[in-house]
């Protein structure tokens, strides 16, 4: 018998529109799933059942059904503020913080008609690519509970992959949507810089962090991205987005039509290669081969891209990562509440000379221009999503900042440079390991090229036919 959580978000949207299920019934169903599964998975930092049911009733009574996310459940990442709901930022330093006002992204999903069920788990201030904080249970991969869910949107990914949510918003400053999406067999979208007004990247250091969707299907991801953009409207969003001519949303249509034949580059080098020992696991290479074979069978043109070393990238990106941590609002004795990695980053960031930061920002601006020129001949560029299989819980060295940084780079060398370049990217699961854990690939688009990415990703998804497979705990 089919249960509500067996349906995709798009199917649930249609059921809501037809009156086959109500927002309250949907919220109650997912809250029951969360109560049963979250103790094992650790996807939620907080669950707000009373507020969720009240919100579902208000949506039913007060929000037009034409709102793009009307009645659909999701969760706010614990880095985002919702008035009256604790916001820990994954940190013991903010255990008791309850904001008085909601931030712009939370306001956007509310305006779009969504129903928040709580806060999805995130690592401390979203800095690591894994979600295993001190004093809280680790967020586990629903496909294999001994593995991590990735980060920093690890809670969102684990909740969606386990059927505790139909989809969820996340944020991505160096791969924080794509890494957990790839780890948990999901579609994850990092939009172009400026595409989502409520999470544009334009206000952050080096313009790295943007907001986007994690979902089980390409169409679901497009539906949520449209919902994140809709409150400001596409014309408003386009005032800030660097976009390809005519490549406008909404994006659900592009995902549903999945039309077109495109020229794709295939890239297996990364800007970390000169400084770190980057090895692509056989499982990651196999996923890339599956994608290449599938895309060629669909009629796309593919070409291997020659490596172009960027030896200055590691030091420049490290500088920005550390400088970003310098602004964490924790001082004095409260610093002892921070995790070792965060304390290391904070100390390094606050000790940076202004000249070094300025030089790093200037270098990364030149890098952005070079990457866009390098990719200009292609409609999209295909890479592995991850270089390694999802990492075991406890694999990362929590006490040695340098080693921890190297581990993160070796796990996911293909994500951060996309943030630096401000380009859109999407991850798609295409295969699995011998142990049944999904593996995926990443497609990187031209500036503003989301519609093309959705079209290619939907074609690839249809070719490999994995979208209805679920973890055993489902």
Point out the residues that are catalytic: 77, 152, 176
Helices 313-325 and 354-375: angle between axes, nearest 10 degrees: 130
Kindly write down the DSSP assignment for every residue of 209-277, as one continuous string.
Answer: -EEEEEESSHHHHHHHHHHHHTTT-HHHHHTT----TT--S--HHHHHH-----EEEE----TTTTTS-
Biggest distance spanned by C-alpha atoms of the chain: 63
Q: What is the CA radius of gyration of the chain?
A: 20
Report in angstroms the alpha-carbon separations of 435 from 42, 273, 431.
21, 29, 11
Place of tokens 């255990």: 95
Dihedral over Cα of 132, 138, 141, 146: its sign: positive
Kindly give, in sequence order, each residue whose CB lies less than 8 Å from that of residue 312, ignoring residues fewer than 6 positions away: 363, 367
3-state secondary structure of 424: coil
Using alpha carbons, select from 303, 350, 358 the residue that is nearest to residue 331. Answer: 350
Given phi > 0 = left and psi -120 to 50 = alpha, else beta, which region is 206? left
Place of tokens 């796990």: 411
Whether 244 contacts 447, CB under 8 Å: yes
The pairing of strands 438-445 and 263-266 is: unpaired
Q: How far is CA 406 from the centre of its chain?
A: 21
Using alpha carbons, select from 137, 132, 144 the residue that is nearest to residue 439. Answer: 144
3-state secondary structure of 127: coil
Whether 349 contacts 335, CB under 8 Å: no
3-state secondary structure of 311: coil
């Amino acid at each position: 018998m089919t249960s509500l959580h067996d349906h995709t978000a798009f199917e649930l949207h249609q059921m809501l529109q037809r009156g086959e299920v109500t927002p309250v019934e949907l919220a109650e169903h997912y809250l029951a799933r969360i109560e049963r599964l979250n103790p094992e998975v650790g996807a939620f930092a907080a669950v707000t059942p009373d507020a969720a049911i009240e919100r579902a009733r208000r949506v039913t009574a007060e929000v037009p059904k034409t709102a793009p996310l009307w009645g659909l459940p999701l969760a706010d990442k614990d880095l985002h503020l919702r008035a009256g709901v604790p916001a820990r930022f994954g940190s013991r330093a903010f255990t008791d913080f309850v904001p008085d006002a909601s931030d712009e992204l939370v306001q956007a999903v509310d305006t779009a008609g969504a129903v928040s069920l709580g806060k999805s788990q995130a690592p401390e201030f979203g800095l690591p690519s894994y979600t295993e904080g001190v004093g809280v249970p680790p967020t586990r991969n629903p496909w294999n509970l001994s593995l991590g869910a990735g980060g920093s949107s690890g809670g969102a990914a684990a909740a969606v992959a386990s059927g505790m949510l139909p989809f969820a918003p996340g944020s991505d400053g160096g791969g924080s949507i794509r890494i957990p999406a790839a780890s948990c067999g999901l579609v994850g979208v990092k939009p172009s810089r400026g595409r989502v007004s409520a999470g544009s990247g334009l206000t952050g250091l080096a313009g790295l962090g943007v907001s986007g969707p994690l979902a089980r299907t390409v169409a679901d991801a497009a539906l949520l991205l449209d919902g994140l953009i809709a409150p400001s409207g596409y014309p408003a969003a386009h005032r800030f987005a660097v976009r390809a001519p005519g490549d406008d949303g909404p994006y659900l249509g592009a995902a549903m039509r999945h039309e077109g034949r495109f020229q794709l580059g295939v890239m297996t080098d990364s800007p970390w290669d000169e400084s770190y020992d980057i090895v692509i696991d056989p499982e990651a290479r196999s996923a890339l081969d599956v994608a290449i074979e599938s895309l060629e069978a669909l009629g796309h043109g593919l070409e291997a891209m020659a490596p172009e070393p960027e030896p200055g990238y590691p030091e420049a990106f490290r500088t920005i990562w550390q400088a970003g941590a310098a602004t964490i609002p924790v001082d004095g004795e409260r610093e002892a509440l921070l995790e070792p990695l965060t304390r290391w980053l904070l100390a390094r960031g606050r000790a940076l000379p202004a000249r070094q930061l300025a030089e790093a920002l200037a270098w990364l601006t030149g890098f952005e221009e070079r990457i866009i020129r390098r990719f200009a001949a292609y409609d999209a560029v295909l890479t592995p999503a991850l270089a390694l299989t999802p990492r075991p819980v406890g694999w990362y060295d929590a006490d040695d900042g340098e080693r921890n940084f190297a581990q993160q780079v070796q796990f996911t060398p293909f994500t951060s440079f996309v943030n630096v370049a401000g380009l859109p990217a999407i991850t798609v699961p295409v295969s699995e390991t011998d142990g049944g854990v999904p593996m995926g690939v990443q497609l990187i688009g031209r500036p503003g090229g989301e519609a093309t990415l959705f079209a290619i990703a939907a074609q690839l998804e249809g070719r490999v036919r994995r979208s209805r497979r679920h973890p055993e705990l489902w």
